[in-house]
Amino acid sequence: MTEELFSTDAYARTCDATVVAVDGNVAVLDRTVFYARGGGQPGDTGVLRFDGGEVRVTDTVKGEGGIRHECETPPPPVGTRVTCEIDWDRRHVLMRTHTALHALSGIVEKTTGAKVTGGNMEVGGIARMDFELEAISQDFGREVEERLNAALAADTPVHVTFLPRAEALADADLIRTKVSLIPAHVDPIRIVDIVGIDKQADGGTHVRSTGEVGRVRVVKTESKGKGFKRMRIELVD
């Protein structure tokens, strides 16, 4: 399996690694800074450099045997030492967006008690989150936006820790989605804590503090059927 360096250091932009498997234009490495698509966060892009050349990584996904780096052209053979480098500006926007979504989740939960039923991020600071909500007022989006930006501006620290699976699952507050999405094999479970705002199990990459997110706009609130509401947000700066 691939050592996931992004799980403990989201700010690591490069690392040295060894190719352990090749499947067409896909390379599996023994370790990587490339985040693998999941939890609504797109996979990282970037480059693998090696003696005599380099290949572009166009997507990163999880697969059997480790994290799969999907390349534009065939990667170097098994055993090759490579230097991984992610597209940092793209990743950092996704980190800001992911932290904004967690803060949004915490604020909506504290305000309404609603569970998250889905969510997704796009490159460029655009995202959505779905909630189990019967009804919302016309001013709900504006009120949430005000609370969200006040929370982000407070520059609250974001901590990442790991808990044994049994301990994490015993705390219902750590599973913020309507249905637990944590694969059965994951142990320990990674916990992202935006102190005083939101604390939940999560595998994605986040900024170190909420002040790094910047301002967020609630673009739209909409119904997705009886008992389900969607909020769309975007980073303003």
Chosen domain end from 59, 86, 113: 86
For residues 178 and 114, what is the distance between their CA atoms, to the nearest angstrom? Answer: 9
Question: Taking 90 as the threshold, does the pLDDT of residue 177 lie above it?
Answer: no
Q: What is the pLDDT of residues 123-156, one digit of tens each?
A: 999 999 999 998 888 899 999 999 999 999 999 9
pLDDT of residue 180: 59
Query: Does 2 map to a domain?
Result: no
DSSP secondary-structure letter at 154?
T
Q: Are strands 53-63 and 81-86 parallel, antiparallel or unpaired?
A: unpaired
Chosen domain end from 36, 60, 86: 86
Chosen domain end from 46, 69, 86: 86
- For the chain, strand residue ranges (E) read 3-4, 14-23, 26-29, 31-32, 46-50, 53-63, 66-71, 81-86, 116-122, 126-131, 158-163, 189-194, 198-201, 216-223, 229-235
Query: Does 65 map to a domain?
Result: yes
| Domain identity same for 168 and 196 | yes
Query: Does 5 map to a domain?
Result: no
DSSP secondary-structure letter at 208?
S
Q: What is the pLDDT of residues 8-38, one digit of tens each?
A: 999 999 999 999 999 999 999 999 999 999 9
| Domain identity same for 23 and 113 | no
| Domain identity same for 44 and 127 | no
| Domain identity same for 186 and 99 | yes
Mean pLDDT of the chain: 94
For residues 74 and 25, what is the distance between their CA atoms, to the nearest angstrom? Answer: 4
Query: How many domains does one find in the chain?
Result: 2
Q: What is the pLDDT of residues 31-40, one digit of tens each?
A: 999 999 998 9
